[in-house]
Every structure is written in C-alpha cells, then in structure tokens.
C-alpha cells in the first residue's frame, strides 16, 4: 500500500474524476488508515511504498504491476499522467530483490488493476487501459494461460472494477461491463460467478479485497448482495472509501498482492 500523502485529483483520466470534486486530504488519510488497520487486523502483513509528490494516483498500488513469486511485471501506463509512477515502483521492487520485467513501450499494461487470477488462469481486461496484445507477453513471462477479456463500459475501465475472484471457482462480476465474448470466457472459466447489479457495481462492490474468508468492500453493498455473500460463508467488512471513489478507485485498487 502507499499512504495518500500526495493524493489529490490533479487530472481527469476516467469518468469518475472531476477536477471540481476535490479530495479532502484529512478524510482520505483517515479512510486509508482504516483500511490499513483492518487488513492488518485480518492478518495481512502490509508493506508500504513511499509516496512521491507529483504522482497522486500512486496510492492505487494495484496498478503498479503484477507480482508472481519473485518476479515483478512492471506496468506501462496508458496515460502520461501516470507514467511517472513507473520508475518509482520499479526502483522499489528492484531494491527489494525482485526480478523486474518490463514490457515494450507499445504494450500498455496496468498491473493487477487489469490482471486477476482465477485458479491458474490469468484474466486480462483490455481496451481502456491495458492492450489486448499484452496477453501474449504476459503468458510468455508467467508460463500460464492468459485470457484477454474486453471491457465495454468506460466507468469500469479496469478489470478490478467489474470482476473479483473470490476463490478458484467463484467470482463477483458485473456482466454488462464485458462484451459478449468476454462474458462467455468468464462463464467458461468461473464455475460459480456471482453477478452484481449496476447499482452495486457503481458503488465499486467488485473492487473487493479477499483475505481468507473475509471480504473487505467499499461501503454501500446492497442487502441482497450482502445476504448472498453471507450465505456463501463470507464475512463482509465495509469501509468508507468515498475519498478514493472520487478518483475512480476503492478497496482493491489501494492494494497490490505480494503473495
């Protein structure tokens, strides 16, 4: 995770961001701290990336890259507004002994924001941020099957805004965020998909962190979804992340899984 010391809305690169809807620094710090505390309480050991002035979206560490064992596949951001984060995270991971893999400049890739495992298959969301062609590179580096799925609604511009693996066989998803072919791929790959409504999706319910049987979700999960998950044996923890929703992010965007 990365403390929101320099977090602000400095540009608009997704439909949620409005320069006129600024963040409240103190509130962002409190919400982030609450998320950090909760994850620690649930038994996660959280490593921190040092915040750097001028890179406000660095807090969304899910976009830094993808960790696979001792390898870190560094992101290539689509927008220049975020490209300055690349050397920052690269230095961080090199200093910690990771083998850092970079992709060719033309291969846009926004890390775990667009790349999520379901069992031993990696799903890669593409169109708004990552490129479809990146899936071949990833598959070669990871030596795993990588399935590209196309995103069609710009409000759900990263895969982790509309898809969340819960286990090797189940996942939360918002079907309307995918094209027909992408929906088929997910239905074929995930044995028990749980569809969430537009309302839940717009509240970023798919942007959930899974810690064992615990689900850390942004506040505002609908009753039917809460019941459905509770019936499945999941323990739900809702966190107010309103300051981060202003940038088009929530719980899952604020973390990068290291192991």
Smaller CB separation from ligand ARG, 79 or 180: 79
Q: Name which of 82 and 214 has its Cβ closer to ligand ARG.
A: 82
Compare residues 1 and 253 and give the one whose CB is closer to ligand ARG. Answer: 253
65 vs 191 by CB, closer to ligand ARG: 65
The token duo for 170 is: 């189940």
Which residue from 235, 241, 240, 206 is spatially nearest to 43, judged by alpha carbons? 235
Minimum distance, C-beta of residue 82 to ligand ARG, in the bound complex (Å): 6
Catalytic residues: 158, 253
Q: Smallest distance, Å, CB 8 to ligand ARG?
A: 11
SS (H, E, C) the chain: CCCCCCCCCCCCCCCCCCCCCCCCHHHHHHHHHHHHHHHHHCCCCCCCCCCCCCCHHHHCHHHCEEEECCEEEECECCCHHHHCHHHHHHHHHHHCCCEEECCCCCCCECHHHCEEEECCEEEEEECCCCCCCHHHHHHHHHCCCEEEEEECCHHHCCHHHCEEECCCCEEEECHHHECHHHHHHHHHHCCEEEECCHHHHHCCCCCCEEECCEEEEECCCCHHHHHHHHHCCCEEEEECCHHHHCCCCCCHHHCCCCC
Rounded to the nearest whole angstrom, what is the least distance from the CB of residue 245 to ligand ARG in the complex? 10
CB of 128 to ligand ARG, least distance (A): 9
Residue nearest to ligand ARG (CB): 113
* Residue 231 Cβ vs ligand ARG, minimum distance, rounded to whole Å: 28
Angle at alpha carbon of residue 96, lines to 1 and 120, rounded to 5°: 70
Which C-beta is closer to ligand ARG: that of 43 or that of 80? 80
Residues that bind ligand ARG (CB under 6 A): 13-14, 17, 57, 60, 62-63, 82, 113, 158, 160-161, 247-249, 253
């Amino acid at each position: 995770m990365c403390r929101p010391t320099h977090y602000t809305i400095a540009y608009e690169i997704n439909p949620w961001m409005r320069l006129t809807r600024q963040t409240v620094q103190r509130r962002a710090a409190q919400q982030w701290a609450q998320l950090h505390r909760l994850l620690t309480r649930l038994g996660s050991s959280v490593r921190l990336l040092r915040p750097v002035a001028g890179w406000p979206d660095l807090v969304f560490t899910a976009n830094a890259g993808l960790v696979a064992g001792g390898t870190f596949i560094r992101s290539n951001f689509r927008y220049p507004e975020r490209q300055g984060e690349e050397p920052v995270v690269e230095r961080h991971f090199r200093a910690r002994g990771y083998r850092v893999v970079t992709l060719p400049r033309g291969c846009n890739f926004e890390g775990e924001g667009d790349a999520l495992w379901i069992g031993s298959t990696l799903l890669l969301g593409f169109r708004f941020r990552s490129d479809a062609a990146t899936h071949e590179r990833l598959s070669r580096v990871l030596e795993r099957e990588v399935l590209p799925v196309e995103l069609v609604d710009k409000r759900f511009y990263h895969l982790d805004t509309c898809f969340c693996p819960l286990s090797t066989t189940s996942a939360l998803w918002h079907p309307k965020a995918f094209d027909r072919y992408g929906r088929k791929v997910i239905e074929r790959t995930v044995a028990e998909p749980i569809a969430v409504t537009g309302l839940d999706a717009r509240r970023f319910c798919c942007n959930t962190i899974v810690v064992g049987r615990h689900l850390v979700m942004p506040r505002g999960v609908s009753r039917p979804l809460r019941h459905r998950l509770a019936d499945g044996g999941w323990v739900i923890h809702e966190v107010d992340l309103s300051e981060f929703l202003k940038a088009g992010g929530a719980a899952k965007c604020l973390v990068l899984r290291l192991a």
